[in-house]
């Protein structure tokens, strides 16, 4: 039903999630530098100023080495072996700005690039590469006061274990001991986990920089694992939100309100998610509208006025997508919501697809208005 | 000089750090289970009740697949290809209890096992496997109150950047808002980083469990990156402690004292480290004895009474090693220190080498006595 149609949307998005930038380029500039996502001291993979990615893998006796990046998921980039047995290759075109997951296929087996750090996506620890974006300043590590990203292990009787979440507390949280803060519950996408928004999304640095510029009143962000029906990693097809909804509403929120200086009411509690996390946000906010007052779906579907008319009115609805996804859908959804009298905002990330640059920019646009009224 | 001789000791320790358990075993029990360090849903690598490890890697066209584990670093375990092109193999003997780093060599190239999670060691993200230990209960994830492990980014003018550290705050820290705590500065070994003590060492779970059992008065643990002279990863040979000492004493400690409820005096501040982290602890505590009152070296050298007689007297000296390292050295060093009137304690981890099981047990033994008098 609703879920299955959404599932289709997400799977289509995922399948198109590694497309080339449309930039036309005459020749490849030889100004390649190591990717900012490389392991310390590793020279490859590299990226040039046009967004081309170049890979270098040592495997002297290998028969074939392929990189899953570079041709819109339609074959990736085949590396070629030089005289020293080193495999090298460059993407056929510039990549979209921002973060991309990838892996190597070596002699028919899937492995990670030993040069890059690993990032959990597609239900595995993948390699990651960063194409410097023209607007990368907003998530850069700067000499500003930094918040803390805290790993918590909260008791979950419904899943009979202690579950992990990460809690971003803004700069000053530990010093201003009488101040209480609103809370955003922020979900990752399918195949990712609670590490995604910090590691790939730089949510903490986005907040640190916005706060340092005075563009955001500090709030807490809580990120936990959203694929609570962990048994299968088939994932979406069988996805039911109930198990996660119980963990989030009955277990995590009470733990956070008990352990952090939150303003623990509906008006100061928001939920947002990317892709499948948007699907979860959509379902949970409609199931439990008394818990959250501000909803954001990032490449994660839409709300219709009909879905919302029974429930207490949300204070804000934020819908976003990359321009290479289906931006018209979020724009027209927001138009319909506004017409129906809702405070709705849409955002389209120019030149990006179903990838983290879209979601970094979405958080950057969402944060200043999230609790503003 | 002193450093270079220590360097030699460490390199020797490292080279012998993956040795087989001495247990004699007749036949391999077919009760293999996935390693607790596997990626979610991954069936391999597996471990059996005797401590044998079994590996399974898909790479149909590969010519050779070798696992760096299994024969004391002397060749590891060669996998063999079955009819489906899947490479499998079992270690020639049981492994030591606890955590082991490893990697795959595929057709002459070094890669990680796609089945395992990654752990930073040997200056790269390595694969990791866990051989269940008879005493694993003390670092098990239990249904007890859990502390938080917080990523902080602290300003470092000496290195002109914001540096990362992890801060363990004990259960109750956020609730008991008037309580102040002693602090242990705990260092990783050569080629590791500030993630090691939590990810490989389970320092947070060791503390959570000890506190739940009432065996230790809660204290804060701070873990940061100790190879501050990052330029080369040659590492130890050129290691100078000065750059790290400046970061630790002039930058990190003031940040922690300003942002956490510490008892910020010498008597409530300890430093400990494993392997190279012990070398750093040794040098820094002797250079700045007015800063720390409790010193612990885990497989990381010794103190002599002569080194200590000039400085203010430490309240505790803790020296440990695995029984497969050089336990006599720490035992005789502690005897000499006691004779000279120091409060010194030695600990030898039975049946373990220069690996994390030795250091998990060392922290477990150290924590209850660290600030006890």
Q: Which of A264, A265, A267, A248 is nearest to A343 (CA)?
A: A267
Residues B141, A155: C-beta atoms closer than 8 Å: no
Res. B6: pLDDT tops 50: no
- Dihedrals phi, psi of A195, to nearest 5 degrees: -85, -15
Residue B16 has pLDDT above 90, yes or no: no
- Which comes out higher in pLDDT, residue B133 or B5? B133
The whole-angstrom distance between residue B112's C-alpha and the CA centroid of its chain comes to: 20
Q: How far is CA A63 from the centre of its chain?
A: 35
By mean pLDDT, which of A104-113, A223-232, A277-286, B16-25 is the weakest?
B16-25
What is the SS3 assignment for A254? Answer: helix
Work out the minimum CA distance from B254 to partner chain A, whole angstroms: 14
Nearest residue to A3 (alpha-carbon basis) of A371, A331, A341, A280: A280
The reply to whether residue A106 touches residue B108, judged by beta carbons under 8 angstroms, is no
Please report which confidence band the pLDDT of residue A227 belongs to, taking 50, 70 and 90 as the band edges: confident
- At A70, is the pLDDT very low, low, confident or very high (cuts 50, 70, 90)? confident
Kindly list the residues from chain A whose CB atom is less than 8 angstroms away from the CB atom of residue B41.
123, 230, 233
Would you call B174 and A106 a contact, using CB atoms and an 8 Å cutoff? no
* The pLDDT of residue B230: 52
B277-311 pLDDT, tens digit each: 999 999 999 999 999 999 999 999 999 999 999 88
Long-range contacts of B283-289 (CB under 8 A, 24+ apart): B283/B3, B283/B241, B283/B245, B284/B241, B284/B244, B284/B245, B284/B248, B284/B249, B285/B314, B286/B311, B287/B241, B287/B245, B288/B245, B288/B249, B289/B314
With a pLDDT cut of 90, the percent of chain A lying above it is 84
Residue carrying the six token digits 């292990």: A153
Banded model confidence at residue A231, pLDDT cuts 50, 70, 90: very low
- Rounded distance between C-alpha atoms, residue B67 and residue B302, angstroms: 34
- At residue A45, the pLDDT reads 98
CA-nearest residue to B141 within chain A is A162
Chain A residue with minimum CA distance to B171: A259
Q: Kindly state the average pLDDT of the residues A191-219.
A: 97
How many residues in total does chain B contain?
373
To probe the interface with A, which of B87, B111, B171 has the most A CB atoms within 10 Å? B111
Q: Is the pLDDT of residue B236 over 70?
A: no
CATH no. of B138-370: 3.40.50.1820
For the record, the structure tokens of B253 come out as: 């400690």
Give the closest residue to B10 by CA, choosing from B366, B364, B354: B354
Mean pLDDT, rounded, of chain A: 91
Which SS3 state, helix, strand or coil, does residue B164 take? strand
> How far is residue A191's CA from residue A239's CA, in Å, rounded to a whole number?
12
**Percentage, residues of chain A above pLDDT 70:** 89
Q: What is the 3-state secondary structure (H, E, C) of A124-191?
A: EEEEEEEECCCCHHHHCCCCCCCCEEEEEEEEECCCCEEEEEEEEECCCCCCCCCCCECEEEEECCCC
B177/A175 CB distance under 8 A: no
Which pTM value belongs to this model? Answer: 0.91
Residue B3 in this model has a pLDDT that exceeds 90: no
Q: What is the DSSP string of B196-246?
A: HHHHTT-HHHHHHHHHHTT-S---EEEEE------S-S-GGGG--SHHHHI
> pLDDT over 90 for what percent of chain B?
84
CB contact under 8 A, A175 and B230: no
- How high is the pLDDT of residue B11? 45
Question: Which residue in chain A has the smallest CA separation from B87?
Answer: A109
Nearest-by-Cβ selection for A108 from B60, B151, B233: B60
Q: What is the mean pLDDT of residues B203-223?
A: 98
* A-B contacts at Cβ under 8 angstroms: 146
Residues of A in contact with B168 (CB under 8 A): none
Q: What average pLDDT does the segment B22-41 reach? A: 85
pLDDT band at B9; cut points 50, 70, 90: very low
Cα–Cα–Cα angle for B130, B133, B134, nearest 5°?
A: 165
- Tens digit of pLDDT for each residue in A158-193? 999 999 999 999 999 999 999 999 999 999 999 999
CB-CB under 8 Å, B175 with A109:
no
> Are the beta carbons of A102 and A127 closer than 8 angstroms?
yes
Helix (H) or strand (E) run with residue B58 in it: strand B53-58
Over residues B351-369, the mean pLDDT reads 98
**Would the pLDDT of A14 be above 80?**
no
- CA distances A136 to A36, A38, A324, B84, B145, Å, are 12, 17, 19, 46, 39
A18: confidence class by pLDDT, cuts 50, 70, 90: very low
Q: DSSP secondary structure string, A73-136?
A: TSS-EEEEE-TTSEEEEE-SSPBPSEEEEE-EEETTEEE--TTB-EEEETTEEEEEEEE--TTG
What confidence score (pLDDT) does residue A234 get? 53
The model's confidence at residue B26, banded by pLDDT at 50, 70 and 90, is low
Distance from the A58 Cα atom to the nearest Cα atom in chain B, whole angstroms: 5
Distance from CA of B166 to the nearest CA of A (A): 9
Q: Report the alpha-carbon distance of residue B184 to residue B168 in Å, rounded.
A: 10
**A230·B40 Cβ contact <8 A:** yes
What is the rounded average pLDDT of the residues A248-276? 98
Question: A259, B41: Cβ pair inside 8 Å?
Answer: no
pLDDT in tens, B303-355: 999 999 988 999 999 999 999 999 999 999 999 999 999 999 999 999 999 99
Q: State both tokens at A178.
A: 């009488």
Residues of B in contact with A55 (CB under 8 A): none
Confidence of residue B373 (pLDDT cuts 50, 70, 90): confident
Beta-sheet pairing, A124-131 with A77-81: unpaired
Dihedral angle computed from the Cα positions of residues A250, A255, A256 and A262, in that order, rounded to the nearest 10 degrees? 90
Give CA separation, B121 vs A26, B21, B40, B240, B265, in Å.
Answer: 42, 21, 21, 20, 33
Sequence ranges of the domains in chain A: 27-132, 138-370
Number of residues that make up chain A:
373
pLDDT in the model for residue A72: 52
Residue with tokens 């919501």: A337
- Check A153 against B167: CB less than 8 A apart: no
Averaged pLDDT, A299-323: 96
**What is the mean pLDDT of the segment spanning B68-76?**
72
| pLDDT exceeds 60 at position B21 | no
| Residues of chain B with C-beta less than 8 angstroms from the C-beta of A110 | 58, 114
What pLDDT was estimated at residue B310? 86
Position B231 pLDDT exceeds 60: no
Name the nearest CA neighbour of B132 among B41, B33, B233, B201: B33
CATH 2.60.40.10: does it fit domain B27-132? yes
* Separation in Å, CA of B76 to nearest CA in chain A: 18
- Give the residue from chain A lying closest to B107, CA to CA: A61
């Amino acid at each position: 039903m609703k879920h299955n149609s959404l599932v289709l949307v997400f799977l289509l998005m995922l399948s198109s999630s590694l497309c080339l930038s449309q930039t036309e380029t005459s020749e490849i500039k030889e100004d390649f530098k190591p990717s900012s996502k490389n392991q310390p001291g590793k020279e490859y993979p590299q990226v040039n100023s046009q967004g081309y990615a170049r890979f270098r893998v040592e495997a002297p006796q290998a028969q074939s080495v392929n990189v899953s990046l570079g041709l819109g998921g339609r074959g990736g980039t085949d590396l070629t072996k030089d005289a020293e047995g080193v495999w090298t290759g460059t993407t056929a075109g510039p990549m979209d700005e921002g973060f991309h997951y990838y892996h190597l296929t070596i002699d028919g087996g899937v492995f990670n690039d030993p040069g890059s750090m690993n990032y959990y996506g597609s239900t595995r620890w993948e390699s990651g590469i960063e194409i410097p974006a023209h607007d990368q300043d907003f998530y850069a590590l700067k000499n500003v006061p930094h918040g803390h990203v805290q790993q918590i292990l909260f008791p979950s009787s419904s899943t009979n274990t202690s579950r992990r979440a990460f809690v971003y507390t803004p700069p000053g949280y530990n010093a201003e001991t009488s101040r209480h803060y609103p809370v955003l519950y922020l979900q990752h996408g399918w195949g990712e986990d609670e590490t995604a928004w910090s590691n790939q999304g730089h949510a903490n640095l986005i907040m640190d920089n916005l706060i340092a510029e005075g563009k955001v009143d500090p709030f807490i962000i809580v990120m936990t694992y959203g694929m609570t029906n962990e048994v299968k990693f088939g994932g979406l097809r069988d996805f039911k939100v109930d198990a996660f909804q119980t963990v989030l509403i009955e277990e995590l929120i009470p733990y956070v309100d008990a352990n952090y200086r939150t303003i623990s009411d509906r008006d100061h509690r928001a939920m947002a998610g990317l892709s499948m996390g948007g699907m979860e946000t959509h379902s949970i906010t409609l199931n439990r509208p008394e818990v959250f007052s501000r909803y954001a779906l990032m490449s994660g579907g839409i709300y219709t006025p009909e879905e919302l008319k029974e429930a207490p009115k949300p204070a804000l609805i934020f819908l976003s997508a990359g321009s290479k996804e289906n931006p018209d859908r979020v724009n027209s959804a927001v138009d319909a919501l506004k017409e129906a009298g809702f405070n709705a905002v849409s955002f389209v990330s120019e030149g990006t697809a179903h990838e983290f640059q879209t979601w970094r920019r979405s958080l950057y646009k969402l944060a200043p208005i999230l609790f503003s009224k």
